[in-house]
A and B are shown apart, each in its own frame.
Chain A
Amino acid sequence: MTAHDWGSLADDAAATVLIDSALSVADGAAEFADVRLIEGEELRLYSQLGADPDERREHTMGIGVRVLVDGTWGFAARPVQDARDAETAARQALATARASIGTSAPVHLAPMAAASGRYETEVAIDPFAVDASVRQALLDEVLANATRPAEVVAAQAGVNAKRQHRHVGNSEGSRQHQHFLETGAGLLANAVGHGDVQRRSYPNSFHGNTAAAGWEYIATLDLANQAIRVGEEAVALLTAPMAPAGNADVVIGAQQVSLQIHESSGHALELDRILGDEANYAGTSFLSVEDIGSRRYGSDAVTITSDPTIPGTRGSFAFDDEGTPARRTRLIDRGILAATLSNRDAAGRSGQQLTGAARSDGWAYLPVCFATHVYLEPGQGSLDELLERMGDGYYIDDNRSWSIDNRRWNFQFGTEVAYEVRAGKRGRLLKNFSYGGITPEFWGSVEAVAGPEELRIFGYPCGKGEPKQWGFLSHAAAPMLVRNLRIGVA
């Protein structure tokens, strides 16, 4: 089933009228224009130990108009109060473009045929229809279970849902209507004692996990039972031995691999960043356009793919936010840089292929290159088999801290947990594990990736742009074995 019969913009035809009215203002005044008309609603419930729960429902509806006048961009956005706002936004966009003419070099968009269509997220249970008492009862149980140990002095759990009507049209004739729905949840427990503070999280250490799915996704997480483990592990970490420093072989768990993909692959492969558009804010990339097709980025075991056509992920769609149809693109092919994540502007400027990765937080933001569903292709075998292959080393998972330089070159990550591995068997729990490296050297040290049965999918929010906007995307990963990693760096 789908669950998108809500709001003012559920009707595709009515949305098209507003889009056309904005485009009509730009017609003749701009050589290109596109319009994004978006209505969104988010539902969030957070429970914290020692505080009243916070429940909120947020509705937003607005329009963003982008124009090219004499090769110069202009963009304006505003909430939609009535039909006049579409035309007002278009006029403002033209004015912003005209102010830059003569100062800015001309833009050349990558060519694209008009594309129209409709897309809806398939869900089993509409999260917005779930009774509030069900949400609260779940979080009450999760919080109670996570805080059974007295040392867990701070904990929070939350569920969220987001639905969106996204309507896009442009002066080339594209008319697209997408109706998305996401559901997510997260749990975080902090234990204090023995002069230390330690945390554990589930199912994703970074704002919980979110899928393009309905409330049925929550049931798959087994949150209440996992909460018991999370609380106990947070406490166990307080007295766990400190992780060592040196060089070691390491099996990295799926969650930490997903963040590694995000920071050192997803961002590094954004074409607008490679071209310097983000040099002042989000940073640049160690990669250059000349590297595409030849540069060794990792070992033969490393194949990274962008595929927003896979349903159920936070990075899935039929059209990106400037209307490029979704497509599967191999970004890293057996260790060789094959393609980047691109939008029309960056692809047109550099002559690179258009991969459909123009994405925006909503109507108030310009589309920029964000990852889609970008994942590490699985290899073979189970996690246990991977540990056995490693022999002696460490198994680590769940990100605790993350930092990478502006070129996405030199990184340092810490994980919530680490385990000694001896003769392929998991041993002692260790705390404060960290590792660091250089992106291509790191991916070049990947010896093996576990099989599809170990693959897990993680939804992320991601920041970029000025003003900063959130991008919502996903990464899938299976655990992987990295040889001779520098550990204990922080």
Chain B
Amino acid sequence: MSTFAPPLDPARALEVAQRAVRDCPADAVEVTVLGRAGEYTRFAGDRIHQPQDITELTVSVKAIVNGHAARAATTSLDRVAETARAAADLARGRAAAAGAPGHATVGTPGPLPELSLWHEDTAAFDAGARVALAGRAMRGGAEVGGVAAGMIGRALTQIAVATSSGTAVHAEATEASGSLTVSVDGGTAHWVDLHRSSDALRAGDAIDAAVRRALAGRGRMPMPDGEFTVVLGPQAAGELLGFLPDVGFSGELAAAGVGVCTDPGARRASELITVGDDALAPVGLPIPFDFEGTPKQRVPFLQTGVVGRPVTDLATAAALGETVNGGRSTGHAHIAREEVPSPVAANIVMPAGPTPEADLIAGVERGVYVERFWYTRLVDRQASTITGVSRDACFLIEDGELAAPVDTGRFTQSVLGFLGSVDGVGDQVRSQPVMNVWNGSVSAPALRGSGFRFGNRPLPDGQDS
């Protein structure tokens, strides 16, 4: 019965936004409509335990009075006018309390990039198709004496922005995603991918491959402590690249003088590392503009290893001034729950390199292959150090081939330190979602580098553990 339509017809979404702009008694107004119709088939073992069909819609109004901004939002269309007035009241109160002009602004219209956002194959990726894939995974796991758990989904994401300065833009984008963990006798494997096109996932093949890798991962030995040459699969590599905004490629940090962007032009990674935020790329989750209606720009973080610039929104672009992107927002405004609004890199992309993953492995005499990291957290922003554990389908590499599977291993590692050691880049890019980021994705190829340390910090000489 699902029609796979956006929560609001595009014309209606723009009409709602533009009417709210008119209904808001403020100096300047920005209205953002976010909609999402998501369908998710979630399964574990022999059960589809969470088949879901979720429609969400939010109308958010930013009102500015004497340069002071406030926001109000609602999910109820019949409350939009009231919400616009509430935003104006809040902003007026803020302006009165401040006593001096603030700095808030709304964006101005600009040309939008042409992107391929709608895919008919995803529109046809209905519950029946997703259930069939879930069944394939569950049966595949069971047939080898294991268990599969995962989620196959599709969504339609909608964004419309209207401002009192004349912006009136709308986009709707299909999204297909899949993830899977297969466990067989202690061996595990994981697959995750997302794309605007469901066909691009090649989910059936990915499911079968995950079952095979889980089988190969049986009989895991403990991860040995020490420094290793590692080959990070696309998901593990992507997880590392996802920390780049946290170590300085964000306008908020740059404006505070913290992190790697305080040293633009410096070499901080291998020449093989070119990565940035690229909402215009054909991978991940491209989208033409941000919550403020600002057209998205490609933002280079590391260009052949050299430090580029941070992502910004209107506020941080103004704070950074002309020296960073000419004082213009790069189109990365973001608002997350329980967090301070800040510019967010939502489509981090590292292009593929020339080397098949198998050849990356073949070039390692002794090392470790890591498919997936788990529970990674920033430890030291200045040093770009993170901690976490390896998980799923990790293997020792011996004489250029995958050898014994290894269990979870804890690591503490400088992200930039590792990127500085990279001497090989895989030829396949895979995407994964980013938590707590609207339309957020990281896409990466496999990476080979050295000096990756598993185990705890070495004890001082003479001390036992």
When the two chains form their complex, are residues A74 and B375 in contact, meaning their CB atoms are under 8 A apart?
no
The minimal Cβ–Cβ distance linking A463 to chain B, given in whole angstroms, is 7
The minimal Cβ–Cβ distance linking A110 to chain B, given in whole angstroms, is 15
From known contacts A190-B258, A466-B151, infer whether A73 and B49 are also in contact, taking CB-CB under 8 Å.
yes
What CA separation (Å) do A402 and B102 show in the bound complex? Answer: 37
When the two chains form their complex, are residues A104 and B48 in contact, meaning their CB atoms are under 8 A apart?
yes
The minimal Cβ–Cβ distance linking A240 to chain B, given in whole angstroms, is 14
A100 contacts chain B at the CB level, 8 A cutoff: yes
From known contacts A79-B75, A280-B149, infer whether A105 and B47 are also in contact, taking CB-CB under 8 Å.
yes
B325 contacts chain A at the CB level, 8 A cutoff: no
What CA separation (Å) do A197 and B260 show in the bound complex? Answer: 12
Interface string of A397-437 (1 = CB under 8 A from B): 00011111111001010100000000000000000101010
Residues of A within 8 A of B71 (CB): 54-58
Residues of A within 8 A of B435 (CB): 463, 468
Residues of B within 8 A of A61 (CB): 75-76
The minimal Cβ–Cβ distance linking A94 to chain B, given in whole angstroms, is 9
B268 contacts chain A at the CB level, 8 A cutoff: no
When the two chains form their complex, are residues A52 and B315 in contact, meaning their CB atoms are under 8 A apart?
yes
Output the residue of A57, A93, A131 with the most chain B CB within 10 A: A57
When the two chains form their complex, are residues A366 and B94 in contact, meaning their CB atoms are under 8 A apart?
no
When the two chains form their complex, are residues B54 and A60 in contact, meaning their CB atoms are under 8 A apart?
no
Residues of B within 8 A of A131 (CB): 93
B171 contacts chain A at the CB level, 8 A cutoff: no
Residues of A within 8 A of B378 (CB): 401
| Contact among A75, A80, A132, A403 for B376, CB-based, below 8 A | A403
Interface string of A52-73 (1 = CB under 8 A from B): 1111111111100000000011
A154 contacts chain B at the CB level, 8 A cutoff: yes
From known contacts A57-B71, A279-B181, A366-B50, infer whether A192 and B151 are also in contact, taking CB-CB under 8 Å.
no
When the two chains form their complex, are residues B50 and A403 in contact, meaning their CB atoms are under 8 A apart?
no
When the two chains form their complex, are residues B382 and A406 in contact, meaning their CB atoms are under 8 A apart?
no
A81 contacts chain B at the CB level, 8 A cutoff: yes
Residues of B within 8 A of A275 (CB): 44-45
Residues of A within 8 A of B150 (CB): 280
When the two chains form their complex, are residues B93 and A432 in contact, meaning their CB atoms are under 8 A apart?
no
B388 contacts chain A at the CB level, 8 A cutoff: yes
Identify the closest chain B residue to A407 (Cβ): B408
Identify the closest chain B residue to A54 (Cβ): B341
From known contacts A73-B50, A195-B382, infer whether A100 and B41 are also in contact, taking CB-CB under 8 Å.
yes
Output the residue of A51, A97, A245 with the most chain B CB within 10 A: A51
Residues of A within 8 A of B156 (CB): none
What CA separation (Å) do A154 and B54 show in the bound complex? Answer: 38
When the two chains form their complex, are residues A104 and B47 in contact, meaning their CB atoms are under 8 A apart?
yes
Task: Number of B interface residues at 8 Å Cβ cutoff, please give it.
Answer: 109
A residues 87-124 near B (Cβ < 8 Å) are 91-93, 95-97, 99-100, 103-105, 107
When the two chains form their complex, are residues B51 and A97 in contact, meaning their CB atoms are under 8 A apart?
yes
From known contacts A99-B51, A99-B131, A470-B338, infer whether A52 and B377 are also in contact, taking CB-CB under 8 Å.
no
When the two chains form their complex, are residues A280 and B181 in contact, meaning their CB atoms are under 8 A apart?
yes
A300 contacts chain B at the CB level, 8 A cutoff: no
The minimal Cβ–Cβ distance linking B386 to chain A, given in whole angstroms, is 9
Output the residue of A62, A93, A137, A407 with the most chain B CB within 10 A: A62
Selected interface stretch from A25-33, A228-236, A378-386, A482-490? A482-490
When the two chains form their complex, are residues A153 and B258 in contact, meaning their CB atoms are under 8 A apart?
yes
What CA separation (Å) do A154 and B319 show in the bound complex? Answer: 13
From known contacts A80-B76, A91-B1, A137-B97, infer whether A277 and B134 are also in contact, taking CB-CB under 8 Å.
no
The minimal Cβ–Cβ distance linking A154 to chain B, given in whole angstroms, is 4
Residues of A within 8 A of B72 (CB): 56-59
A247 contacts chain B at the CB level, 8 A cutoff: yes
- The range of chain A's interface size is 35 or more
B304 contacts chain A at the CB level, 8 A cutoff: no
A residues 16-55 near B (Cβ < 8 Å) are 46, 48-55
Residues of A within 8 A of B316 (CB): 51
Residues of B within 8 A of A156 (CB): 340
| Contact among B153, B255, B374 for A283, CB-based, below 8 A | B374
B356 contacts chain A at the CB level, 8 A cutoff: no
Residues of B within 8 A of A78 (CB): 54-56
When the two chains form their complex, are residues A436 and B340 in contact, meaning their CB atoms are under 8 A apart?
no
Interface string of B114-147 (1 = CB under 8 A from A): 0000000000001110011011001000000001
What CA separation (Å) do A65 and B427 show in the bound complex? Answer: 45
| Contact among B54, B69, B132, B374 for A364, CB-based, below 8 A | B54
A294 contacts chain B at the CB level, 8 A cutoff: no
The minimal Cβ–Cβ distance linking B150 to chain A, given in whole angstroms, is 5
B213 contacts chain A at the CB level, 8 A cutoff: no
A126 contacts chain B at the CB level, 8 A cutoff: no
When the two chains form their complex, are residues A74 and B51 in contact, meaning their CB atoms are under 8 A apart?
yes
What CA separation (Å) do A410 and B454 show in the bound complex? Answer: 13
B74 contacts chain A at the CB level, 8 A cutoff: yes
When the two chains form their complex, are residues B56 and A490 in contact, meaning their CB atoms are under 8 A apart?
no
Selected interface stretch from B17-25, B77-85, B227-235, B277-285? B77-85
What CA separation (Å) do A78 and B52 show in the bound complex? Answer: 11
When the two chains form their complex, are residues B50 and A103 in contact, meaning their CB atoms are under 8 A apart?
no
Residues of B within 8 A of A57 (CB): 70-73, 86-87, 90
From known contacts A154-B258, A403-B377, A406-B374, infer whether A466 and B40 are also in contact, taking CB-CB under 8 Å.
yes
Residues of B within 8 A of A107 (CB): 47, 49
A residues 310-368 near B (Cβ < 8 Å) are 345, 364-366
What CA separation (Å) do A490 and B380 show in the bound complex? Answer: 10
What CA separation (Å) do A83 and B163 show in the bound complex? Answer: 32
B11 contacts chain A at the CB level, 8 A cutoff: no
From known contacts A50-B255, A104-B46, A132-B97, infer whether A412 and B410 are also in contact, taking CB-CB under 8 Å.
yes
B residues 89-120 near A (Cβ < 8 Å) are 90-91, 93-94, 96-98, 102-104
Residues of B within 8 A of A46 (CB): 340-341
B298 contacts chain A at the CB level, 8 A cutoff: no
Q: Mind listing 29 A-B residue pairs with CB under 8 Å?
A: A46-B341, A49-B256, A51-B316, A52-B102, A52-B104, A58-B58, A58-B60, A59-B74, A59-B76, A62-B56, A72-B51, A75-B53, A132-B94, A133-B96, A133-B97, A190-B256, A197-B380, A245-B456, A247-B465, A279-B149, A279-B183, A405-B391, A405-B410, A406-B374, A434-B379, A461-B338, A470-B338, A488-B457, A490-B456
